[in-house]
Amino acid sequence: MKHSDIILGAGLSGLGAARHLPGSVVYEAKDHPGGHVYSHQQGGIHYDEGAHICHAKDEAWKHELFASAGDVVHMTQSQVSNWWHGRWVTYPVQNHLRDLPADLRIRALTEIVAAQMKAPERPPAHYEEWCRNQYGDFLTERFYKEYTDKYWRTPMAEMDTDWLAGRLLPSQLERIIHGAIAPLDEKQSVFSSFYYPARGGFFSFFAKLYEGVDVRTGCRVAGVKLKDKTITFANGEKVRYDRCISTIPLNDLIRAIDAVPDAIRRDAETLRHTQLIGVNVVVGKPNLVPYHWFYVYDPDIEISRVKVLSNIIPDTLPAGTTVLQTEIFRRDDETFEVESLKRKAVQELSHMLGFDPDADVQAVHHVVVSHAYTIPTLGRQAAVDRIAGWLEGQGIVTAGLYGRWKYVWSDQAYAAGKEAALRLVGV
């Protein structure tokens, strides 16, 4: 029997699904495919939606990406730092306590050792407890709590711990003590080495993979009639489907469906995410900072993270410049004013990196990403399981970052879409 297969959303999970579901059609709200891995050309430079880099390990996957991108830069050792109250502290702070003043170093180390010596009575109930168990109170309060408020825009005690694997390293006492006394090589983190396209931004890795995939852009899902199996888009188009894979935000999908049980609607309304305001700045001075990217911990600075593009692909950017891609976050239920955040970001960068915010700045652009990170709030996974389970019962399989409301790297997003498609065709 011929099925009419549709996929909602043309990000990487939509791409992974489409490439394993021959004949399928992908419907995408924006005017371009790519979702979060899209790169925006502004003033002749490509900027990503947040600090994207490739640290995939699978050789076959890397081969596909490199064939798409052409020239690829390989950084064998990432240089990452933290800006903390006027000083640079190597990332992650717990492994480089020697960068702190002696009194704070002693305090941090003493508290980490004390925390590690205590055998916890039960698994941590939330992220704050996890942090205190791992790092003690000083680092939790002066680093992780302050950063969480800026980055996740959510109190640590309201966050789950299931997102930590692959992002935060559980503390290893020997390395911590080593890093408090002498320099420590940082080769453990998932992104200790990475790849990036020499031209065209992160999206260059994927652009060619979309060739041959039927993507209909400008099609924002507006209404879903479950009984008729029809979807109406905001542009007035309508489509009937037999099988559907959705990678669009779960809560938006639920809001678009005509008949949803109240409990599922309530679950969908509990899901939270951040928005990203990316401020992209070209400074007419070279080598302002040696890092590939850095985190900014100070609560009175809006910027959370800065990718220094000119330290990654210097040969393809204007000579004599430092090109900075900064990230500021807001929660989905917060409002913001873009122009004032842009001005503030330039001032903050000039203060941290030492340039004149008027005379030295050559260009300032911005990108607003309405959905940045899914926030791992407590109870989120159970709500997602109920929603996704109910949708599957209605013939809609969900996949990907917002389809499962859980952080995934780009390669995992693609694999999730592929897995959903293979499940549909019964492989």
CB nearer to ligand FAD: give 26 or 176: 26
Instruction: Figure out which of the listed residues 401, 415, 421, 424 binds ligand FAD, where binding follows CB under 6 A.
Output: 401
Q: Determine phi and psi for 16, rounding to 5 degrees.
A: -60, -40
Stretch that binds ligand FAD, among 28-36, 116-124, 146-154, 309-317 (CB under 6 A): 28-36
Q: Which is nearer to ligand FAD, 178 or 255 (CB)?
A: 255
- Identify the helix (H) or strand (E) that includes residue 327: strand 322-331
Please identify which residue in 248, 281, 313, 388 interacts with ligand FAD, judged by CB under 6 A. Answer: 248
Shortest distance, position 416 Cβ to ligand FAD, whole Å: 7
* Phi, psi values for residue 319, rounded to 5°: -60, 150
Q: What is the DSSP letter of 304?
A: -
The residue within the footprint of ligand FAD, chosen from 6, 9, 81, 272 (CB under 6 A), is 9
Distances (CA, A) of 235 to 6, 35, 221, 230: 17, 19, 9, 15
Task: Give least dist CB 249 to ligand FAD, A.
Answer: 6
Tell me phi and psi for residue 366, to 5 degrees.
Answer: -145, 160
Three-state SS for 253-280 is HHHHECCCCHHHHHHHHCCCEEEEEEEE
**Nearer to ligand FAD by C-beta: 12 or 100?**
12
Under 8 Å between Cβ of 121 and 130:
no
Minimum CB distance to ligand FAD, residue 220 (Å): 4
Size of the site for ligand FAD (CB under 6 A): 35
Supply the minimum distance, in Å, between the C-beta of residue 95 and ligand FAD.
Answer: 21
Scanning residues 119 to 178, which ones bind ligand FAD (CB under 6 A)? none
Q: Site for ligand FAD (CB under 6 A): which residue of 98, 199, 220, 344?
A: 220
Report the half-sphere exposure of 330 (CA within 13 A, side-chain side).
13
Identify the residue among 4, 19, 25, 30 touching ligand FAD (CB under 6 A): 30
> Radius of gyration (Cα) for the chain, nearest Å?
22
The closest of 314, 319, 304, 372 to 82, measured between CA atoms, is 304
- Residue 47: CB atoms within 10 Å: 24
Listed ranges 70-78, 145-153, 241-249, 265-273: which one lies at the site for ligand FAD (CB under 6 A): 241-249
The window from 25-33, 59-67, 102-110, 182-190 that contacts ligand FAD (CB under 6 A) reads: 25-33
* Contact region with ligand FAD (CB under 6 A), list: 140-148, 313-321, 380-388, 395-403: 395-403
Among 65, 109, 139, 221, binds ligand FAD (CB under 6 A): 221
- Extended strands (E) in 146-259: 194-197, 214-216, 221-225, 230-233, 238-240, 243-246
Q: Least distance (Å) from ligand FAD to the CB of residue 55?
A: 7
Using CB under 6 A as the binding rule, whether residue 396 contacts ligand FAD is answered as no
Nearer to ligand FAD, 112 or 372 (CB): 372
Smallest Cα–Cα separation from 364: which of 352, 351, 347, 378? Answer: 347
In the complex with ligand FAD, which residue's Cβ is closer, 28 or 348?
28
Please say whether the beta carbons of 238 and 231 come within 8 A. yes
98 CB-contact burial (10 Å; exposed 0-12 / middle 13-18 / buried 19+): middle
Footprint of ligand FAD on 35-94 (CB under 6 A): 35-37, 50-53
Closest approach of Cβ 405 to ligand FAD, in Å? Answer: 10
DSSP 3-state of 323:
strand
Rounded to a whole number of angstroms, the minimum distance from the CB of residue 49 to ligand FAD is 6
Q: What angle do CA 11, 23, 16 make, to 5 degrees?
A: 30
* Strands (DSSP E) found in 49-113: 72-75, 80-84, 87-90
Which is nearer to ligand FAD, 97 or 399 (by Cβ)?
A: 399
Nearest distance in Å: CB 417, ligand FAD = 7
Q: How far is the CB of 114 from ligand FAD (least distance, A)?
A: 35
Residues 341-380 that bind ligand FAD (CB under 6 A): 372-373
Task: Using CB under 6 A, pick the residue from 28, 267, 348, 360 that binds ligand FAD.
Answer: 28
Q: Which residues contact 116 (CB under 8 A, 6 or more apart)?
A: 134, 171, 173
Residues that bind ligand FAD (CB under 6 A): 8-14, 27-30, 35-37, 50-53, 220-221, 247-249, 252, 276, 372-373, 400-402, 408-411, 413
